[in-house]
Amino acid sequence: MDKNWLFMIGFFLLILIPFMNVEASGNPNISVSTENSEFGNIFAGSMVVEVVIRDSNISDTDEGKGEPDVTLNGKTLRMVQASDGHWYAYFANVDKAKTADATVGLAGKGLDFGVFCSRDTSSSVLGTSFSETDGVAVPRSTGLVGFTNGDSSFIECTGSPTDSANLNNVVRQAKSINTNSNVSVGQIGLDVDAWPLIQLYSFDDVIIEYNPGGPPQQVYLEYDEIQNISLELDRDLYPQNSEVFFTLNDIQLNQDPTDEDSWTFNVNSTTRTFYQAYDNSGNDDANGNAGLVNLIPHLSNLGFEDNGKLSLNLGNIMELKTTNDQPNS
């Protein structure tokens, strides 16, 4: 896992979690964002998982290609072709996605999954069917009728999403969908304003399988408490007036598989945890508005065990400082 530098500001600590570099699994065409030997292919809570198919036989973007046959525990995982010729899907645990979305204080901030539609939603609404999922998270609500947020039960959506604000804050840097006029959008006819869409399932452990026409390619994931969490200092001895950097290794902080995740921890006073208070350039995101939500009361329901919070005893020898990544507290 790449180093994640922790910057010290006021009473807050900001951690930027880079999206994971997927490790080679021996499969030539399929990669899954949570494949990681350091954490034993374990993922947890509301983490969004990215599945990518890179197959030269179906990579043309200007002529029709059949959708790759990909399943999640035997259920169809719909794949969408992006402008780079690769095929993408995003999925998450349905219950934890609803729990995460229920913490949102302002639309488009924090752990916002967008809006939810049931699996019974007509293909005419989103452009294609997602009947083998337990529901989907759609990034835009304008034009949709019947969508839900948070812990509400899913119902069938009608209407169609329109080009409005993207509310999805957990897949922030998805590849652009293939809109070549010679083929249907994404090669499967998905409404362009429904991208990036997150498919939701109930599961314990997960088997992702790609059937390219030869031997199947499989990735096994364990949905469980995260193991091997560690905290590392950059050295053992520090001279006076030196800066201290430490690395926090916890794959569960990687909620968005496409972008750096920003976590801010209130330390040396009342413990608090914030997601995307700042963006990865140090600009205010949820900070300063109703989107800044303390996640401490929700961590257990979000699938965190003893992780997700950070405390620090500064004593008389340490002080916190601002940086370009978080210029104020």
pLDDT at 325 over 70: no
- Structure confidence at residue 106 (pLDDT): 97
Q: How confident is the model at residue 9 (pLDDT cuts 50, 70, 90)?
A: very low
Confidence of residue 12 (pLDDT cuts 50, 70, 90): low
Global pTM value: 0.92
The DSSP-derived string for 252-278 is GG---TTS-EEEEEE-SSS-EEEESSB
pLDDT band at residue 68 using 50, 70 and 90 as cut-offs: very high
Instruction: Encode pLDDT of 148-197 as tens digits.
Output: 999 999 999 999 999 889 999 999 999 999 999 999 999 999 999 999 99
Q: What is the pLDDT of residue 241?
A: 84
Burial class from Cβ neighbours inside 10 Å (0-12, 13-18, 19+) for residue 26 reads exposed
Maximum mean pLDDT: which of 24-38, 119-133, 223-237: 119-133
* 209 neighbors 70 (Cβ within 8 angstroms): yes
In terms of pLDDT, which residue wins out, 212 or 12? 212
Query: Across the chain, what does the average pLDDT equal?
Result: 91
- Where exactly are the structural domains of the chain? 22-223
Q: Does position 324 have pLDDT exceeding 80, yes or no?
A: no
Residues 290-309 have pLDDT tens digits of 999 999 999 999 999 999 99
SS3 assignment, position 209:
strand
Residue pointed to by tokens 């900070």? 287
Per-residue pLDDT, averaged over 209-237, amounts to 94
> Given this model, what pLDDT does residue 211 score?
97
- pLDDT tops 60 at residue 6: no
**Would you state the pLDDT for residue 238?**
87
For residue 328, the model assigns a pLDDT of: 63
Percent of the chain with pLDDT over 70: 90
Tokens of 67: 């959708």
Q: What is the pLDDT of residue 284?
A: 93
Which one, of 47, 12, 52, 88, lies nearest residue 264 by Cα? 12
Instruction: State residue 1's pLDDT score.
Output: 34
Q: Which two tokens stand for residue 291?
A: 């989107």
pLDDT greater than 80 at residue 7: no
- Residues in CB range of 192: below 8 A, 6 or more apart: 177, 179, 185, 186
Q: Is the pLDDT at 44 greater than 90, yes or no?
A: yes
Of 30, 147, 111, the residue nearest 275 (C-alpha) = 111
Residue 298 — φ and ψ, nearest 5°?
A: -105, -5
With a CB cutoff of 8 Å and minimum separation 6, the contacts of 319 are none
Q: Of 285, 235, 237, which Cα lies nearest the Cα of 259?
A: 285
Q: Report the pLDDT value the prediction gives residue 17, as an integer from 0 to 100.
A: 62
| pLDDT band, very low/low/confident/very high, at 98 (cuts 50, 70, 90) | very high
pLDDT digits (tens, 9 = 90+) for 21-37: 555 568 999 999 999 99
